[in-house]
Chains A and B, each alone.
Chain A
């Protein structure tokens, strides 16, 4: 393979990692509070509030039900306002975050639901405030499950980022589409796909190894 192609692929991997990691990070900054809100305002939650729970849930469901490709196109004006352009890796981060944050919120919610309600009751009985229950009991107790959720979220966001190649996003997805699909270079397409598989595999393995190390329940 010629040198230019290797350079191109190296760039693609870098861009893909950049888009995926930055998007995941921002998606978690938005998604964790949303997930916590969903959990605590639930009917069995510690700050039961049907109205907040309903509206948060409804907005999340609304965004989650829009197909990602439609979201990509629909968000172009917003992307232009925030990033100044609609092509390249930076521009892809905007729709990725919008699509991923509600997904992350649901993952976080389901992780928090795994926390034993008896432990929450014990914390309440000891005189904890609601904020203390969230920050000192629920989130630390759910940490292993939250991290497993994060590895799933990273893989999903990686998949989305590849899809963004269709509308001018950067990274491996764009290479697979521009060279492999439009120019019939099957070998390039296969190589990029192989890279994507490898990256997903790496994140998944590393994530699970890390979780097994920190989870105190497994000894």
Chain B
């Protein structure tokens, strides 16, 4: 469904070159729930913005359904973006439009007639369980409700893929769980491929099939959630999975490993030079 081929993204920040994404190769299959986990500043958000080309790679190619999106023109790209929904940590709803207006927006720009738009909005409201909030404005909704509106909006054009950029990070644990089960339901019912960016292990644990661990712009390991949880190979994965008091022990172990080669710890620093 989505394939990254040697994708790198470099910025010039002052006199330094910053590598946000470093030679990433990744394959996300159709119908999967794919997690990308890492600490803040690991480049996860930048990476996921390459899928809908909100960020253009400095090097490498991105394929969507075996079409190379890197070379797509502005018009073609807009068509693809209607097949890739996206939700955000801060919800990013239109504050001056009510719930119906927000969910109808992507249908409006896709040129769908008003009558059909409203019918589709009703279906979506039912899917996310907000039938009673039609006329409410975002400022009148709770965080969980806002994210439900955002999900309905992202699904309006029947996309093949849903990108979730820290979608539950601003929500409390109970709301997080209910949003995650909604995402799971969408994946199972509609067959939508879901890509989830998070720094929380419990998000991956609850709904992901596969996971990629990211640090310093590099994908350190990829595998099924079970594989990575049971046998985390990279230091980042261990630090994310293991309780805090166990990290030191593993840090020491890692120092021993690094003498044999492959200094995992120093990777992030080398790349900013």
Interface residues of A (CB under 8 A from B): 116, 118-119, 121-129, 132, 136-137, 140-141, 143-144, 215-219
Instruction: Note all chain A residues with C-beta closer than 8 A to B81.
Output: 124-127
**By the criterion CB–CB under 8 Å, are A118 and B139 in contact?**
no
A136 in contact with B108 (CB, 8 Å): yes
CB pair A128 B96 closer than 8 Å: no
Interface residues of B in 45-79 (CB under 8 A from A): 52, 54, 77-79
List residues of chain B with CB within 8 A of the CB of A124. Answer: 54, 81
A216 B92 Cβ-Cβ under 8 A: no
Contact bitstring B77-120, A, C-beta under 8 A = 1, else 0: 11111101110101011111110000001101110000000000
Can you list 7 A-B pairs with a CB-CB distance of less than 8 A? Answer: A116-B95, A119-B92, A121-B54, A122-B92, A132-B109, A216-B138, A217-B95
B248: Cβ under 8 A from any A Cβ? no
Shortest Cβ distance from residue B97 to the other chain A in the assembled complex, whole angstroms: 7
Q: Is the CB of A143 within 8 A of B96?
A: yes
Which B residue's beta carbon lies closest to that of A141? B96
Counting contact residues on chain B (CB < 8 A from A), the size range is 20 to 34
By DSSP majority rule, is chain B's interface helix, strand, loop, or mixed?
mixed
Give CA–CA (A126, B77) in the complex, Å: 10
Closest chain A CB from B190 CB (angstroms): 18
Q: Does any Cβ of A come within 8 Å of B252's Cβ?
A: no
Number of residue pairs A-B, CB distance < 8 angstroms: 79
**With contact pairs A126-B105, A216-B137, A219-B139 given, residues A141 and B82 touching in the complex (Cβ less than 8 Å):** no
Can you name 5 extra interface pairs (CB under 8 A) apart from A127-B78, A127-B80, A140-B97? A125-B54, A127-B109, A127-B157, A144-B96, A215-B96
Residues in B neighbouring A132, C-beta threshold 8 A: 109
Contacting residue for A119 out of B77, B94, B108, CB 8 A: B94
A121-B54, A127-B78 given as contacts; is B106 within 8 A of A141 (CB)?
Answer: no
Q: Say yes or no: is B246 at the interface (Cβ < 8 Å to chain A).
A: no
Cβ-closest chain B residue relative to A144: B96
Measured between alpha carbons, how far is A101 from B173 in the docked complex, in Å? 51
Q: Which of A123, A126, A127, A136 has most B Cβ within 10 Å?
A: A126
Q: How far is the CB of B219 from chain A (nearest CB, A)?
A: 23
Q: How far is the CB of B154 from chain A (nearest CB, A)?
A: 8
Q: Which residues of B contact A127 (CB under 8 A)?
A: 77-82, 106, 109-110, 157
| A216 adjacent to B109 (CB under 8 Å) | no
**Residue from A126, A128, A141 in contact with B95 in the complex, judged by beta carbons closer than 8 Å:** A141
Q: Is B16 an interface residue when CB atoms closer than 8 A count as contact?
A: no
Residue of chain A at shortest CB distance from B154 = A126
* A2 CB to nearest B CB, Å: 52
Which residues of chain B come closer than 8 Å to A136, judged between CB atoms? 105, 108-109
